[in-house]
Structure 1
């Protein structure tokens, strides 16, 4: 008797573990599919890096919720029975309005997929192309359109799940129309180069152009907890790079030209 109970419990645990693994794998698969679609539709060959913009990028986790609900419904007998019992009730809302609800659900999910897929910004050597669900054709900016930079490292503050974590580096540029783009929300990088190397080069150019920059070393130590020194050194360079340094470099170049 005990052996039967043990086997039954083991089977339930085994099924739940397999379900969790399947959910994770399917979520990753959905994410990779979205990335592939974005690259195909929006990313040009001359890109340096492209951004999967926050917060739309986090909406992918809605599909994970769908998967959890689906697996729970399939494998949880009580939940399934509760659902079928509810459908048999005369006054059940879903049964009465399912012809309206199903098309609405499908339409909302098509819209959700569109919002997620179109949340892309492409960075090239000469321009920034910002896509969105309101602007699927993309808005082009040059680097003179960058009006400010805000960069640093997130600290111990509690963040909403799936947003930011302690030690995460951020580099947010604001464009002339008020749009803000965090260059660390990377979708892809050319030649598989780490994004901090590209951001360091872009930061150097923007500082030379005298773009106002706010940076803080306050939480830098947290980035060293999960990144190798080669990357944290680049982050330090970015955070310590200032307009004053940019002015010095420009003045030195001017002096050299005069000579």
Structure 2
């Protein structure tokens, strides 16, 4: 019985470690992606971003309707995609950091695929939906 408790505790620690180490940190100079398999992180420059995809999730399957209308903001590198929707920042106004980041990335001429499809399923406050729309429609290219 004691072996099972130790194994259970160890498994829980591993799962907790995996959850806590899957983090992406964005600063003014770089993007660092930490993961379970790479605890030191992979450093990317903004110039390494190949494209941005943003919009609202949609689903025709009943099982996935729970996430229908959720906003997504995904940046793609060589072999890696990072979703920045769930972010933590110094700004009190939620999602403002995504709007600022999008301005910076668009000024750098990074290609963006975006769509307002499924916007009607987003049930957040109108001010956030408006912010998401501004992000989606911002396509300044050099």
TM-score range, shorter chain: 0.7 to 0.9
Residue 228 of structure 1 pairs with residue 125 of structure 2: yes
Q: Which runs of 5+ in 1 are unaligned?
A: 1-97, 248-259
How big is the shift at 1:128? 1.0
SS in 2 for 1:189: coil
Task: Indicate conservation of the 8 Å contact 1:149/1:172, yes or no.
Answer: yes
How big is the shift at 1:146? 1.0
Superposed CA offset, 1:151-177 (max 9, x none): 11012434767x96122100011123x
Distance 2:23 2:62 in 1: 23
The residue correspondences of 1:157-236 to structure 2 (distance < 5 A) are: 157-158=60-61, 165-176=67-78, 178-186=79-87, 188-195=88-95, 197-223=96-122, 226-236=123-133
How big is the shift at 1:204? 2.1
Superposed CA offset, 1:196-218 (max 9, x none): x2212211222232222111111
**TM-score under structure 1 length normalisation:** 0.50
Task: Indicate conservation of the 8 Å contact 1:154/1:164, yes or no.
Answer: no
- Give the equivalent residue in structure 2 for 1:108: 11
- Give the equivalent residue in structure 1 for 2:42: 139
- Give the equivalent residue in structure 2 for 1:238: 135
**TM-score under structure 2 length normalisation:** 0.85
Distance 2:93 2:137 in 1: 22
How big is the shift at 1:99? 4.6
**In terms of Rg, which structure is larger?**
1
Distance 1:193 1:201 in 2: 12
Distance 1:222 1:233 in 2: 14
Between Structure 1 and Structure 2, how many residues are aligned?
142
Task: Indicate conservation of the 8 Å contact 1:149/1:174, yes or no.
Answer: yes
How big is the shift at 1:228? 2.5
Distance 1:129 1:207 in 2: 20
SS in 2 for 1:111: helix
